[in-house]
Amino acid sequence: MTYGWAILIVIIVGAALYAMGIFNPSATTGKTKSGFSQIDVNDWKYDTGGTLTLVLENRVGSSISVTSVDFTGGGTTIANTTPTTIAAGKTATMTVDDDSTPSVGDGYELDVTIAYTKGAISHTETGTLRGNAE
């Protein structure tokens, strides 16, 4: 009988911790990024409307033209294909939408692909953004 009560208490405590989000690692780690080098993502926001706003920094060393930005991990992405020129060492803000509607605080992991040209040569930069929807 004593073991039964102990097991019941452990189950109740585990359920309470789960309900508070303790077992959701993205809820406790905050925003993280990985994989970006030539074009860095200085800041970003993924909102409840499925809009990803990025602040991109040009670390290539010369002026570039970002030709598209898209991401996977949410819903179906509508890629931003409006070319944007970024001078060396400068930043630009770009937005991309998808058809998802995350709730505030929902954890996400988005694989981002940035296509750009330097002179006449096309390049791509990829990376991953993690955090919670705002």
Q: 71 and 9 share a domain?
A: no
The pLDDT of residue 52 is 87
Note the pTM of the prediction, 2 decimals.
0.73
Q: What's the rounded Cα separation, in Å, for the pair 126 and 50?
A: 20
* pLDDT beyond 60 at 89: yes
Residue-wise pLDDT for 15-48, tens only, equals: 888 777 676 655 556 788 999 989 999 999 998 8
Q: 74 and 36 share a domain?
A: yes
Whole domain around residue 25: which residue ranges? 1-29
Q: 79 and 100 share a domain?
A: yes
Residue-wise pLDDT for 111-131, tens only, equals: 999 999 998 999 999 999 988
For 121, the enclosing helix (H) or strand (E) is strand 121-132
* pLDDT beyond 90 at 49: no
CATH number at residue 104: 2.60.40.1940
